[in-house]
A and B are shown apart, each in its own frame.
Chain A
Amino acid sequence: MKGSEIFLESLKREGVEVMFGYPGGQVLPIFDSLYDSDIKFILTRHEQGAAHAADGYARATGKVGVCLATSGPGATNLVTGIANAYMDSIPMVAITGQVKSFLIGNDAFQEADVTGITRPITKHNYLVKDVKDLARIIREAFYIASTGRPGPVLIDIPSDIQLMDAEFIWPKNVEIRSYNPTLFGHPGQIKKAAKLIAAAKKPIIYAGGGVITSGAHKELKMLAEKINAPLTWTLMGIGAFPATHELSLGMLGMHGTAYANHAIMESDLIIAVGARFDDRVTGRLDAFAPYAKIIHIDVDPSSISKNVNVHIPIVGDAKNILIELLRDIKKVPNTCDWLKTVEGWKKKYPLVYKNDGALKPQYIIEQIYEVTEGDAIITTEVGQNQMWAAQWYKYTAPRTFISSGGLGTMGFGLPAAMGVKIGCPDKTVFDIAGDGSIQMNIQELMTCVANKINVKIAILNNGYLGMVRQWQELFYKRRYSQVDITSPDFVKLAESYGCVGIRVTKKEEVRPALEKAIATDNTVMIDFKVEPEENVFPMVPAGQAINQFIGGLA
């Protein structure tokens, strides 16, 4: 079999149904073999779009997302998408063509040291030097990408290797002596955690993206209900616990709810599950949760005690550990008083916005929630739109909020929505966008139309790079520097791409526009001309303790 055929056969063995990518000189053999393959290929309009689409597909389905690009510029165009997946621990395999093996290092046409460039933003990467290694490398890549703390793996394949012949041998199993992720928590640690929980008076559960990755949402709910503890989540943890549940406190951190932040600051025990105490969550570190002991459940040992000191670390898969923990908790704490206190904060500092006659972004998100009956999958861009989408839609299931957390990549939402829709064709998929971000990967509208990938785009068009403007307003004396962003006529733009554009300028038009968008069997772009200087509140200024809010009623 030729290298290119080995490649495709290996993908089939891995169960790959769809790939996102773009052709070029150093992947011609692969595209030639693809001509006869039944793996679906989505030709994006930019390689960054392919990487984000693969990422969105992975987030929505839990399967490994696959993207493919040629050498040099094709590969470097993937870089942002790979870094994005790396920061959020998303299982992805990126394949790049490389110049012929004997030309490597010669500054050949379209050569770039792609394994070098991506080394710090991949979980692992490979340069294939012998066609006989190809099947094994692909097998390993999928295994590494999807196990332990998942992440992107890149395989760089020189074009001559794609043409060389070798016998196809599919390894029965993967053996990497130096890679053995810990799956089960240490029983002694879990017992200690159970004791600590029993003794707590003010426990709080803090859930991150790891809960979703490990599929531990049911066990998480059982834990919260068993010990009657309020629960808060990170941006990546949205959907890990139903927002409609009475124990839910919403998101914590910089733009978290005031009550979540008060609760974590006053708690005497934090049970962190699959979360990493990132600076957007902890605020000023030395002031974070001063009375709390911390139980930290995480699959990645290097996350533990990296930012905060942890009393009981438990390394392993969240689901396995929660199952054991639930079994070991014999005595549950009495949290009645604590829940009353928390309820008091909820009443005193509700999440609010001024819902006057103006067209408010928060209102639009609430309406999207109502019109879709909470059953849509939401992707976001980055900025205010992202924070409002996190705050004002009530997510009740994992893998329904798809957002660039760690890297904060503008331009993620639209290509990610494509990937989501391909993975979940029966779901309504909304990209909640900003007018700035949407222009970063707008070309993917064409991919949607060409492939009949029916997604809905809600642009919260405030005429600004809103989040940056907000910081300039609050911390730089309203000296608005390069945040005024002009946009094309989005309705005409949508039409010229062959999809449907709708403009909304008034509150009363929101509902009908959303209903029409959902009823339309095409990609629809709605340009909501929202209040230009609306801010995201509450807000904890960077470097402050997370109970020090500005704005809102907090």
Chain B
Amino acid sequence: MRHTISVLVENKFGVLARIAGLFSARGYNIASLAVSETLDPAISYMTIVVEAKDAKILEQIKKQLNKLIDVITITDFTKKEHVDRELVLARVKYSSKDKSKLENVFKKYVGKIIQHKADVAIIEAVGEGVQIKSLLDELSKFEIQELVRTGKLAISN
């Protein structure tokens, strides 16, 4: 099962390697990881989506993260109210007859065509996991040349 946790860490070099190493050394899988500075530039915020077979493994992951000296706090969103989003960018093959079809897609999702040149369009979309999933299903009707995702960002409410 996938769990979303956030980790506040000291914004120092090597911290990401410590976190990544902790997962790889124990054979835990990171499904997605998003990192950036917070309002306080000395602190970074990471949203990590982890794959954990059972509650015991998730518990170990949290405890091991807590043991890292540079980790300040950990929040487990499994049972905590929160908002999460992911951003998708895609480059889609596109001809003028597709235009309305593609625009139609974005009536249901938060997203838009950012630019189009000749026969390709770059689109962006933002949403929760389920929305992103169904958006990706719809986009599969088009010819996607490349698709990139930020991984999940989560914030408690």
Q: Which residues of A contact B (CB under 8 A)?
A: 115-116, 119-120, 123-124, 127, 144, 176-179, 300-302, 305-306
- List 14 interface pairs A-B (beta carbons < 8 Å), by A numbering: A116-B17, A119-B18, A120-B25, A124-B69, A127-B14, A144-B69, A176-B69, A177-B72, A178-B9, A178-B69, A178-B70, A179-B69, A302-B63, A305-B59
Known: A178-B70, A300-B67. 16 other contacts (CB 8 A): A119-B14, A119-B21, A120-B21, A123-B69, A127-B14, A144-B69, A176-B69, A177-B72, A178-B10, A179-B69, A301-B66, A302-B60, A302-B63, A302-B64, A302-B66, A306-B60
Residue of A nearest to B22 (CB): A120
Is B71 an interface residue when CB atoms closer than 8 A count as contact? Answer: yes
Q: Which residues of B contact A (CB under 8 A)?
A: 9-10, 13-14, 17-18, 21, 25, 56, 59-60, 63-64, 66-67, 69-72
- Verify B63–A301 contact, CB threshold 8 A: yes
The contact of B67 among A116, A302, A306, by CB within 8 Å, is: A302
Bound complex: CA A177 to CA B56 (Å): 27
Bound complex: CA A83 to CA B25 (Å): 14
Residues on the B chain within 8 Å of A116, using CB:
17
The 10 A-B residue pairs with the shortest CB-CB distance, nearest first, are A302-B63, A178-B72, A124-B69, A179-B69, A301-B63, A120-B25, A302-B64, A119-B21, A120-B21, A178-B71
Bound complex: CA A160 to CA B154 (Å): 43
Residue of A nearest to B14 (CB): A115
Residue of A nearest to B71 (CB): A178
Residues on the A chain within 8 Å of B25, using CB:
120
Bound complex: CA A179 to CA B73 (Å): 10
Bound complex: CA A120 to CA B18 (Å): 8
Residues on the A chain within 8 Å of B10, using CB:
178
Residues on the B chain within 8 Å of A300, using CB:
67
Residues on the B chain within 8 Å of A178, using CB:
9-10, 69-72
Bound complex: CA A84 to CA B25 (Å): 17
Residues on the A chain within 8 Å of B59, using CB:
305
Residues on the B chain within 8 Å of A301, using CB:
63, 66
Bound complex: CA A120 to CA B64 (Å): 12
Bound complex: CA A119 to CA B14 (Å): 9
In the assembled complex, the CB of A172 is this many whole angstroms from the nearest CB of chain B, namely 20
In the assembled complex, the CB of B18 is this many whole angstroms from the nearest CB of chain A, namely 6
In the assembled complex, the CB of B16 is this many whole angstroms from the nearest CB of chain A, namely 11
In the assembled complex, the CB of A177 is this many whole angstroms from the nearest CB of chain B, namely 6
Residues on the A chain within 8 Å of B9, using CB:
178
Residues on the B chain within 8 Å of A124, using CB:
69
Residue of B nearest to A304 (CB): B63
Residue of B nearest to A301 (CB): B63
In the assembled complex, the CB of A181 is this many whole angstroms from the nearest CB of chain B, namely 10
In the assembled complex, the CB of A96 is this many whole angstroms from the nearest CB of chain B, namely 15
Bound complex: CA A305 to CA B13 (Å): 32
Residues on the A chain within 8 Å of B21, using CB:
119-120
Bound complex: CA A390 to CA B56 (Å): 34
Residues on the A chain within 8 Å of B18, using CB:
119
Bound complex: CA A144 to CA B70 (Å): 12
Residue of A nearest to B64 (CB): A302
Bound complex: CA A115 to CA B21 (Å): 12
Bound complex: CA A306 to CA B9 (Å): 24
Bound complex: CA A120 to CA B70 (Å): 14
Bound complex: CA A116 to CA B17 (Å): 8
Bound complex: CA A144 to CA B68 (Å): 11
Residue of B nearest to A125 (CB): B14
Residues on the B chain within 8 Å of A120, using CB:
21, 25
Bound complex: CA A144 to CA B21 (Å): 20
Residue of A nearest to B70 (CB): A178
Bound complex: CA A305 to CA B55 (Å): 11
Residues on the B chain within 8 Å of A177, using CB:
72
Bound complex: CA A301 to CA B56 (Å): 13
In the assembled complex, the CB of A120 is this many whole angstroms from the nearest CB of chain B, namely 5
Bound complex: CA A300 to CA B60 (Å): 12
In the assembled complex, the CB of A428 is this many whole angstroms from the nearest CB of chain B, namely 38
Residues on the A chain within 8 Å of B14, using CB:
115, 119, 127
Residues on the B chain within 8 Å of A176, using CB:
69
In the assembled complex, the CB of B22 is this many whole angstroms from the nearest CB of chain A, namely 8
Bound complex: CA A542 to CA B93 (Å): 59
Most chain A beta-carbon neighbours within 10 Å: one of B9, B14, B17: B14
Residue of B nearest to A300 (CB): B67
Residue of B nearest to A153 (CB): B69
In the assembled complex, the CB of B57 is this many whole angstroms from the nearest CB of chain A, namely 10
Bound complex: CA A537 to CA B127 (Å): 63
In the assembled complex, the CB of B55 is this many whole angstroms from the nearest CB of chain A, namely 10
Bound complex: CA A177 to CA B25 (Å): 26
Bound complex: CA A302 to CA B65 (Å): 10
Bound complex: CA A283 to CA B2 (Å): 31
In the assembled complex, the CB of A182 is this many whole angstroms from the nearest CB of chain B, namely 11
Bound complex: CA A180 to CA B114 (Å): 48
Bound complex: CA A11 to CA B21 (Å): 30
Bound complex: CA A178 to CA B42 (Å): 13
In the assembled complex, the CB of B96 is this many whole angstroms from the nearest CB of chain A, namely 50
- Verify B56–A305 contact, CB threshold 8 A: yes
Most chain B beta-carbon neighbours within 10 Å: one of A116, A120, A302: A302
Bound complex: CA A120 to CA B23 (Å): 11
